[in-house]
Amino acid sequence: MKSLDSRVALVTGASKGIGRATADALAKEGAHVVLAARSRDHLATASRELVSLGLKASIEVADITDPTQADRVIKSTVSQFGRLDILVNNAGMGYFKPALEMSLKELDEMWNLNLRAVFVVTKAALPHMIANKWGAIVNISSLAGKNSFKGGTGYSATKWALRGFASSLMLEVREHNVRVITIFPGS
């Protein structure tokens, strides 16, 4: 028996990079992995590859910056599998330039994906984890959430905010046996 047999995991930004690798690792540990991202083609490829290895995977095409789509992903996952045990908030993006060169549109895009979408998806997932008295929320941040750097004013701000959100959330949900973990990968 694998460590995550019977668990259901949702990974945002799962079509490539860290999200894809995380989805692969969770599936290899026995979880049914729901891969969520905007690109149907990349998601379909990732899912096919996992299924070809005898692993459990499905896809949800969504732009999680849209609260309606984010909520749909959670509802669809729970409807299909009866539960949601693990949420990996991986979707993210960054513009790296000095504050004077950054547009408000670029800043808003980062805030909407790197923090607001995390809040929306997490808020939709939590009632299911609390009802099951078990859950894990894993936030993929960045070392930029601990260390400032030139050209990182907007991006670092979103990652520091994610760190604050996650730290406070952990205190709010631990009594329900829901863990909140934040990972700070480097470049």
pLDDT digits (tens, 9 = 90+) for 133-181: 999 999 999 999 999 999 999 999 999 999 999 999 999 999 999 999 9
| Stretch 23-45: mean pLDDT | 95
Strand order of the β-sheet with 86-89 is 57-61, 32-37, 8-12, 86-89, 135-140, 178-183
Span 107-129, pLDDT tens digits: 999 999 999 999 999 999 999 99
| Percent of the chain topping pLDDT 70 | 99
Positions annotated as catalytic residues are: 155
What is the structure's pLDDT at 1?
66
Residue ranges of E strands in 114-175: 135-140
What is the DSSP secondary-structure string of 36-102?
A: EES-HHHHHHHHHHHHHTT--EEEEE--TTSHHHHHHHHHHHHHHHS---EEEE-------S-GGG-
